[in-house]
Amino acid sequence: MGADVPADIRELQDQLEAAERDAEALVAGLSDAQGSRAAEVGQWSVAQCLDHLATGNRVYLRAMQESANRARTRGRHRRRPARAGWVGRLFVSFLEPPPKWWSTRRAPRKIRPRAVPPLAETFASFVDAQSDVRAFLSANADLDLVGIRFPNPFVRGVFFTLATGLHVLAAHERRHLWQAWQVRRAIERAEE
């Protein structure tokens, strides 16, 4: 994106770039064995957190892309900043780390991580998914992201705006990267 990028789009881009930098720092120096180990039984490993994010981003983007494509053919161009409405902000706040006691539930089946995914593979997949999210944002920044709705791929009958969807993706990344850091720190403490 060029220098004339609106502030709201730049903010989303910055959040996505920050998540990728955080993931790079997270996996730096971790062995595959460390990255595949959970801190406690029933918790996810660092690799599983990244696997979940990569898969979740792709599923969400597929749902968002169809609506963006329809909106483009209808000429639904940008009219206002890409901000989430109050319901969207509430949903995003539930995703922000640390997880709140009322917002911890099992991930939907289609985005549950594999049992023991390889760390390097899941990190590469996360980076690829990040690239896809940034490409979506760049390609669709000229659309009215607040006025275009898409069906939530995990909750039947719930629709979000594309702006909310992008904010959800960023908050979801922060949540699970925070979770992965907790796992990494616990593993490092156990190895001391």
Structural domains in the chain, sorted by start: 15-191 (1.20.120)
- Summarised one tens digit per residue, pLDDT across range 2-38 is 568 899 999 999 999 999 999 999 999 999 999 999 9
Cβ–Cβ under 8 Å, residues 160 and 168: yes
Q: CA of 189: how far to CAs of 34, 39, 179, 182, in Å? A: 12, 10, 16, 11
- Summarised one tens digit per residue, pLDDT across range 60-97 is 999 999 999 999 999 999 999 999 988 889 888 888 88
Burial 136-165 (b: 16+ CB within 10 A, else e): bbeebbebbbbebebebbeeeeeebbbbbb
